[in-house]
Structure formats: C-alpha cells, structure tokens
A and B are shown apart, each in its own frame.
Chain A
C-alpha cells in the first residue's frame, strides 16, 4: 500500500486523517498516486492539480524520501521506499504568510 500524507486544508476538505493509504499498482508515479487519490476522494480533484491541464497547483509541493519532486514530470518513477510503503508521498501546502 502507498502512504500519502496530506496538508491540513485537504484533510479538512475530504474529512481525512493526516495519512491515507492507497492501493496503487506499479509503476508508482505521482500521476498514479494522484489518480488513485482523486478516484477515492473526488472532492480533491482540482485541489492538488488543475482540472484541465493536470499541472500541479502553484502552491502545492510533492516530497518523498527527503527529495523535492515537485518539478519532476508526473510520470516520474517514485523511490522504491515509497512504492513499498516504507516512506510516505507528501503533498505539501507551500509555506506562506506571516
């Protein structure tokens, strides 16, 4: 199972705990995770990536295994530790405000 951590705004929106687990068949990529996440929680569609272009929203970031994957193509293979469920895939709301 893939572990995904969500920021508080999305947890409030989808009424979720901090971490959700998803069954994502290989290859495990950001796109595959987001497809599975939005499939199970449709309210999140459009909140992480644009409806039409599927581009990541500007103030959302993707981290895993201490790497910033935000600027990688959505079809990039994620680290094995994420695919094995040892490490979470982090969806982050970028820091902002004072």
Chain B
C-alpha cells in the first residue's frame, strides 16, 4: 500500500512522520540528534531509503548524517566543506570586504540519477557536491567565482544558499537561490552560472532592479514543465516562463506578498501554494490567521485555505524549507511552523489537520511518497 514519510528538521532535532495513503493516522519517530539544529532532512528520489540530514550547532559546528534505511538508523558522514582555492571576499553588513567563511549547511538536494550524488547549499553562500554519498565534498566554485560574488551580502539570516532545484528533464540545469544575492542558473551541471534576476524589483536595495542583491526566499517548479518557475521573494511572488530569464509578478490579490515558502501541486502545474507572512519585520500571518493561499491559475488569483488551520491568535512563521508536496493521486500538502506544528492536507489544501502540534520550531519539511 502506498504511504508517505515526512522528514522534519527542527531547532532541537529531527523527526520522521509516517502514514499510509489516507494520511489520517501518523506514527512519530524522534527526536533524532536531540538538541541539535536540523536545518534540512531530505531523501533521494532514486533510493527513498537514502536520506541526508544537516545537523548544526552554534557550539559544535556542522555534522552530516546519512540514513540508508529510511531514517531508522543514521551514520555520520563527511563534514569538511572547504572552499576551492583561496576564498576571496564578499560584502559584509557594513559594506566592507569580508572573507568567505563556512558556517553551516542549509540545504541538501539529492541527485536525480544516483543516490550517492547530492548537492549541498551552504552559508557563506556556495554550492558543494558529493559523489560518494556524503563521505567527501567538493565545491562547484563557478558560482562563488561569479563576477558579482564580491558584491553579494548577507541578509539578516546570514548569506545562505538555501535553495537548490534540479531540472527534472535536464539534470545539468540547476537553479540556486541565495539570501541576499538573488537567483542563479547553471546549464552545465554547476560549472558556470548566470544571474536570473531580470524582472525582480526589490525596494530594499539601492537599485531595485539591480542584477544582484535580491533576497530570494524560495523557488519551485513542476516536474512536467521545468521551464516555468515560481518564486517567493522577500516581497513579491514571481513567475518565470523561460527558466528564469525573465520574471513577472503574480502576487495578485494576496493579503501580503511577503513570505518564505512556495510550492507547486504534484499533478496540476498551474496550482501553486504560498503562506503569506505579514511583513519583513512581522514574521507572523496577517491578522493572526494562519492561511495557505492557493492559485489554480498560475498566480494572480489566490484563494485562502483555512479549514483546520487556526484563524485567530496565531503568530507563527513558516520558514523557507518548511513546505512540501507529495505525489499521491490526491495531492498532499505539508508545512511546518516555528510554533512546532506540522500540518497536512490530504486534499490539495481544501482541509488541514495537524500531524503534530508541539515539536520544536520547524526549520524544514520534506515528504517522500512511498509505493
């Protein structure tokens, strides 16, 4: 029987939530790595039992964990992320040059051909890859060496490469997003990169249409139509129909276009989900109402989804890696909050129910559809 496995990273450990295809009765395992910040936990689509986890601590640094049995047991893997060559500088908060310094892994993106191939997005922003299942890591330096690299500067959360998207039809095409540098695309497996920021307009930088400096929060695509990208930016929800070469705004009737997550329905390429957050200074839902907004028209027209979600006195946030979509026939949507709730909708957002209510603050949510 089909089922799902939800991988949850929190401020104080990782959790594995499992259910059958009905998604109404859940088994909760964890915490794994109790007390550690689990920035991201993600499984391979090639071998679902292979899972990578980023384990981080302000005291004890970075660890990388790998499971080969669907999260039951874990083994520590390589954790040395050495920048290629002599790192140069990027721009620090005060405008001065600042050397690149490794801080943590924000995101793992397993390759689509081989479970031993995985990309890592790190802070300070760079992309690494491992071809030996996480035992060793090598930087793809073409990104950090981009001519704009010395102009990149951190957002309030650090200069993190938090989004990696692999084109499902052309595995050499990669997209990354960096706070607060912007978005980049590679068409040669990560050797070289170009900015994909035309059409972005960010009022919080001196030149709102500059090539870099945009605080991109998340990029998503549909498997069947990978040239169409959706972006949740610091402000603005955006869409590109040509692999990022040009963007246009699709915020439409959203109550606010600030937010972190964005994702696409598994079977309907024009159905998009976001969770609006009040503002950059007010990281909670407008009016204290936790609402997912769904567009069935590829943007601009959005409907609030509220059934089963708290509609008063709710002041949680939903962070950038904390939404996921399963691919069961009736598409499931999941998201986690900084209040420790993980919600599931087994009917594409029409109704919601909490899987768990009282985890530590949720940093990431990924789902695996098991057959």
Contacts and interface: CB of A to CB of B under 8 A. Distances in A.
B60 A13 contact: yes
B33 A12 contact: yes
A10 interface: yes
Interface in A33-75: 42-43, 46-48, 51-52, 57, 59-60
A9 interface: yes
Contacts, number: 44
Interface string B62-77: 1100000000000010
A41 to B, nearest CB: 10
B58 to A, nearest CB: 6
A59 B59 CA distance: 5
Interface string A1-25: 0000001111011000000000000
Contacts of B60: 9-10, 13, 47-48, 57, 60, 93
Interface residues of B, number: 16
Given A47-B60, A57-B59, A9 B79 contact: no
B58 A13 contact: no
A81 interface: no
A43 B33 CA distance: 13
B303 interface: no
Contacts of A48: 60
A9 B38 CA distance: 13
B58 A96 contact: yes
A48 B60 CA distance: 6
A16 to B, nearest CB: 13
Nearest to B79: A46
A57 B35 contact: no
Interface in B1-40: 33-36
Contacts of B33: 12-13
A51 B76 contact: no
A46 B61 contact: yes
A38 to B, nearest CB: 13
A43 B63 contact: yes
A8 B35 contact: yes
Given A43-B63, A57-B59, A12 B34 contact: yes
A12 B60 CA distance: 12
A47 B55 CA distance: 11
A47 B35 contact: no
Contacts of B35: 8-9, 12
B54 to A, nearest CB: 14
Contacts of A8: 35
B87 to A, nearest CB: 13
A42 B79 CA distance: 11
B57 interface: yes
Contacts of B62: 46
A60 B59 contact: yes
A9 B36 contact: yes
Contact of B59 (A42, A43, A52, A94): A94
11 contacts: A8-B35, A9-B57, A12-B33, A13-B76, A46-B61, A46-B80, A48-B60, A51-B80, A57-B59, A59-B59, A93-B59
- Closest 6 A/B residue pairs (Cβ): A47-B60, A93-B59, A43-B76, A59-B59, A9-B60, A9-B35
Given A13-B60, A46-B61, 13 more contacts: A8-B35, A9-B60, A43-B63, A43-B76, A47-B60, A47-B61, A57-B59, A57-B60, A59-B59, A60-B59, A94-B59, A96-B58, A96-B59
Interface of B: 33-36, 55, 57-63, 76, 79-80, 82
